[in-house]
Amino acid sequence: MSSVPPPEPAPAGGPGAPPPAPAGGPGAPPPQLVRSPLSDGEWHRLHPLTPLLRGGLFLIVVIGIVFANLRDRLLYVFLPWLAPGVGDEVVEWEQVGGDPIDFIIANNLYVLAGVAVLAVLIVLVTVFYTSWRFHTFRITDDDVEVRSGILFRTQRRAPLDRVQGVNLTRPMIARLLGMAKLEVVGAGIDANVKLEYLSTANAEAVRSDILRLASGRRLAMSAGPAGATATRQPGRVASLSQTVGREITGLIEGPEAPVAELESVVHIPLGRLVASHVLSTSTLALLFAIVAIVIGVSQGVTWLLFGFVPAIIGFGAYWVRSIVRSLRYSIAPTPDGVRITFGLFTTITEIVPPGRVHAVEVTQGILWRPAGWWTIRINRLTGRSAADSSTDQFTTVLPVGTAADVERVLRLLQPSLPDDERALIVQEGMFGPTEGDTFTNTPKRAWWIRPFSYRRNGFRLTEDVLLMRRGVVWRKLVILPLARLQSFGLYQGPLDRASRVTNVRAHVVTGPVSPFLAAVDRDRALALFDDVATGSVRAALADRTHRWAEGETDAAAPAVPLPAVSVPAATAPVPPDAGAGAQSAASVPPPPGYTVVTRPGEEPA
C-alpha cells in the first residue's frame, strides 16, 4: 500500500517522502512556532502503513487459522521424513474432505478457491485503503482534531489549553518500520486523541509543536535559513530497509535519543528491578499458593491444581511483563515538562507538562526497608477510562529507587519547592518522625485508632503543598499541591467524637494516591481546614502552569536556532496582576540540567 501515490491531503510521515509545504490556512499556528509541516492548520493523512499495523492482528489470526489447517499437509509436503505416518492420513483426509481445505482438494476446486482468496484480499485492501483515506487530522493554534470513519463519521477535538500530556508509543513492529503512535491526553474520561501512526521523526516534531503551542510560548524557531535547498531523500524501499536495520539494533542498544533531550536523572539497575519484584507481597502470596497446591495435591485434593495453576500462570506472566515494561526507564526535565520513558519491546515516552500532577505518593514496603528502596506514584488526568488496564503505567513515575532518586524526581515533579522544604520532606516525611518533628501527629489519647502508626500519622502545611504522612508497615508520604486541590473535607464518626479527633480527606483527580489521614486532633483539623481553604485559593490565583511558557518571548522575534534547553517560566508562583516581565523576573534558579536561553542582545535573567 506504500507504493500508492498519496493524493491530497498528503500522507503524514511516509518514509523518505519530501514534506509538504505549510499551507497556513485559517487557524494555522504561527509558522515561527512549529517545526513540522504537519502543524500548519491543514488536514493531513496518517502514515500509509497505518492500516497494516491497525489491522495486522486480524490478518495474523486469519493466517494462523490457515496454517493450523495446513500444518500436517505442509509437513507432509516439505518435511516428510519428520512424520512418516502423516502421509496416509493426509491422503485419507483429502479423499473424505473433512475440512474446507480437504473439501477443496477432494472436489478439485483450486481455481474457485484461488478466486475467492483473491476477492477477499481485494476487499481487505479496499477497506484498509478507504479507512486510511478517510482518517485525517489537523493541528491548529487552538486544538488537535481527528476525523475518521467510512460509514459512521467521527470527529474528535482536544483543546490545546486542556492538554494534560502527550504520549509517544512505539510497539515493537512499528519500531521496526520506524513508526510511532501519538496520543494527546485530554482532561476527561476517554478524552484522548490518537494519531496512529506517524513516522518517528514526524511524531517527535508534532509532539514538540503541540506542547509548544499548549505552553503559550511565543518563541520563533527556525528549521534553517530561508531558501535552503532540501537534502535529497532516499527512496521508500531504501529508507524502509535502513529503518528496519536501525530499529533491530535499537532493540538491544536502546532507541535513538531525540534531539535536545537531557540525560535521565535516575538509573535503575536490572538487579534492583528484579529484586524489587521478588521482595514484594505479591511474590509471597504466590509462594504461599504454590506451597498450598503442593500440600493439597499430596493429600489428594486435586481440585487445587486446576483452581490455582491458571492463576499462577497469569501472575507469572504479569510479573515478567511488569519487569520488561520497567526496563530502559528514564526520567528527565524538558522545557515542556517531565519526560518519562519506559519499556523494552514497546517503548512509551510521555511528557507531563508543569501543573498536571495533582498528587504525589512516596511509598516503601517493609520488605524494601533493608535496601532503602522507594516507589513514587502520582494522580494525573490520563484521559483513559477506569477499566483501562494500561492506566497504571502512566501513574508510576519511579518504579524503584533510593532516597536520593526520590529527591531528584521530586525536584522535577515539584520544582517550586525550596531546597530546605525538599530536604525536610525526605528527612521527616519519608523517614520520620525524627527529633524536633514539625508534623502534627495523632494525639496520644487516640492511639487505639492507629495503635502501630499513631506516632507517624500526621500532616504538615506549607505555602505550596500539604503533606500527609502515615503507615509503619507500608510507609507512605502524600504530597498535595495546593493549586491542584478540588476540595477538602473533614469526616467524624461516633468513636472519633469520643476521642475528639476527626478524619481529613483532600479531593483530587482519581488515581492510585489516596489523600486520606485518620485520627487528627479536632481543633488542629479545623484550623487546617481554614488554612487549606485560604492557601489553595491563593495558590490557584498565582498559578500559571496551564500556560507554562506564556510571555517567555515574543512571537515576532526573528527565527533563531535554539542553542540549549530553556527554563519553564512556571517554576515559581506569580501574582495574578503581574505581567510578562514580572513573570520572567519571578523565575527561580533552574534545576540541575537546565540552561537559560536568551535571544541575541538580551542579558540572562
Give the pLDDT band of residue 605 (cuts 50, 70, 90). Answer: very low
Region 555-583: mean pLDDT is 36
Region 207-218: mean pLDDT is 80
The reply to whether 275 and 372 lie within a common domain is no
Contact 106, 94 (CB under 8 A): yes
The reply to whether 505 and 395 lie within a common domain is yes
Q: Which of 305, 326, 347 is the last residue of a domain?
A: 326
Closest-CA residue to 203 (of 468, 15, 483): 15
The reply to whether 435 and 321 lie within a common domain is no
pLDDT of 252 reads 42
Distances (CA, A) of 186 to 140, 148, 215, 432: 16, 18, 15, 38
Contact 470, 510 (CB under 8 A): no
Q: What is the 3-state secondary structure (H, E, C) of 394-426?
A: HCEEEEEECHHHHHHHHHHHCCCCCHHHHHHHH
Has residue 140 got a pLDDT over 50? yes
The reply to whether 370 and 446 lie within a common domain is yes
- On whether residue 251 sits in a domain, the answer given is no
Give the pLDDT band of residue 522 (cuts 50, 70, 90). Answer: very high
| b/e per residue 586-598 (b: at least 16 CB within 10 A) | bbeebeebbeebe
pLDDT of 579 reads 37
Q: Which of 326, 342, 367 is the last residue of a domain?
A: 326
Q: Taking the CA atoms of 21, 14, 216 and 418 in sequence, report the sign of the dihedral they define.
A: negative
% of the chain with per-residue pLDDT over 90: 24
Question: Range with the lowest mean pLDDT among 184-188, 409-413, 582-586?
Answer: 582-586
Has residue 102 got a pLDDT over 90? no
Closest-CA residue to 328 (of 436, 260, 254, 278): 254
- On whether residue 235 sits in a domain, the answer given is no
Has residue 77 got a pLDDT over 80? no
- On whether residue 406 sits in a domain, the answer given is yes
Q: Taking the CA atoms of 240, 245, 250 and 251 in sequence, report the sign of the dihedral they define.
A: positive
Instruction: List all residues 6 or more positions away from 538 whose beta carbon is below 8 Å from its beta carbon.
Output: 482
Give the pLDDT band of residue 129 (cuts 50, 70, 90). Answer: confident
Most confident of 238-247, 380-389, 526-535: 526-535
**Mean pLDDT score of the chain:** 75
The reply to whether 389 and 530 lie within a common domain is yes
The reply to whether 376 and 519 lie within a common domain is yes
Contact 371, 351 (CB under 8 A): no
Most confident of 12-21, 55-64, 467-476, 559-568: 467-476
Backbone φ/ψ region at 149: left (φ over 0), alpha (ψ -120 to 50), beta: left
The reply to whether 364 and 506 lie within a common domain is yes
Place of cell 526497608: 369
The reply to whether 384 and 490 lie within a common domain is yes
Place of cell 497469569: 314
pLDDT tens per residue across span 452-497 = 999 999 999 998 899 999 999 999 999 999 999 999 999 999 999 9
Region 32-36: mean pLDDT is 79
Give the pLDDT band of residue 388 (cuts 50, 70, 90). Answer: low
Region 586-596: mean pLDDT is 39
Contact 588, 573 (CB under 8 A): no
The reply to whether 400 and 520 lie within a common domain is yes
DSSP 256: P
- On whether residue 454 sits in a domain, the answer given is yes
Q: Rounded to the nearest 10 degrees, how much is the dihedral formed by the CA atoms of 3, 9, 15, 17?
A: 90
Q: Which three cell numbers stand for residue 148?
A: 475518521
- On whether residue 42 sits in a domain, the answer given is no
Question: Who has greater pLDDT, 565 or 324?
Answer: 324
Distances (CA, A) of 277 to 41, 290, 316, 528: 47, 17, 11, 38
Region 197-212: mean pLDDT is 88
pLDDT of 416 reads 82
pLDDT of 57 reads 62
DSSP 589: P
The reply to whether 524 and 383 lie within a common domain is yes
Give the pLDDT band of residue 99 (cuts 50, 70, 90). Answer: low
Distance CA 13, CA 200 (A): 8
Give the pLDDT band of residue 75 (cuts 50, 70, 90). Answer: low
CATH of the domain at 460: 2.30.29.30
Residue type, 597: V
Residue type, 37: P
Closest-CA residue to 337 (of 164, 481, 539, 511): 164
Strands 347-352 and 165-170: antiparallel
- On whether residue 553 sits in a domain, the answer given is no
Give how many domains the chain has, as a whole number.
3
The reply to whether 365 and 450 lie within a common domain is yes
Has residue 27 got a pLDDT over 90? no
Helices (H), 180-333: 200-215, 236-253, 270-278, 281-298, 303-326
Distance CA 449, CA 426 (A): 26
Could you list the residue range(s) of the whole structural domain that residue 414 is in? Answer: 356-542
Angle between helices 303-326 and 281-298 (to 10 degrees): 160
To which H or E segment does residue 327 belong? none
pLDDT of 12 reads 56
pLDDT of 15 reads 45
- On whether residue 209 sits in a domain, the answer given is no
In whole angstroms, how large is the CA radius of gyration of the chain? 29
Region 413-428: mean pLDDT is 85
Q: Which of 111, 132, 153 is the last residue of a domain?
A: 132
User: Coil, helix or strand for 142?
Assistant: coil
Q: Which three cell numbers stand for residue 345?
A: 519491546
pLDDT of 263 reads 82
| Phi, psi (rounded to 5 degrees) for 400 | -160, 135
> Residue 362 pairs with which residues in a beta bridge?
376, 477
Region 58-73: mean pLDDT is 67
Distance CA 306, CA 62 (A): 31
Question: Who has greater pLDDT, 209 or 594?
Answer: 209
Contact 364, 474 (CB under 8 A): yes
The reply to whether 290 and 365 lie within a common domain is no
pLDDT of 369 reads 93
Give the pLDDT band of residue 81 (cuts 50, 70, 90). Answer: low
- On whether residue 291 sits in a domain, the answer given is yes
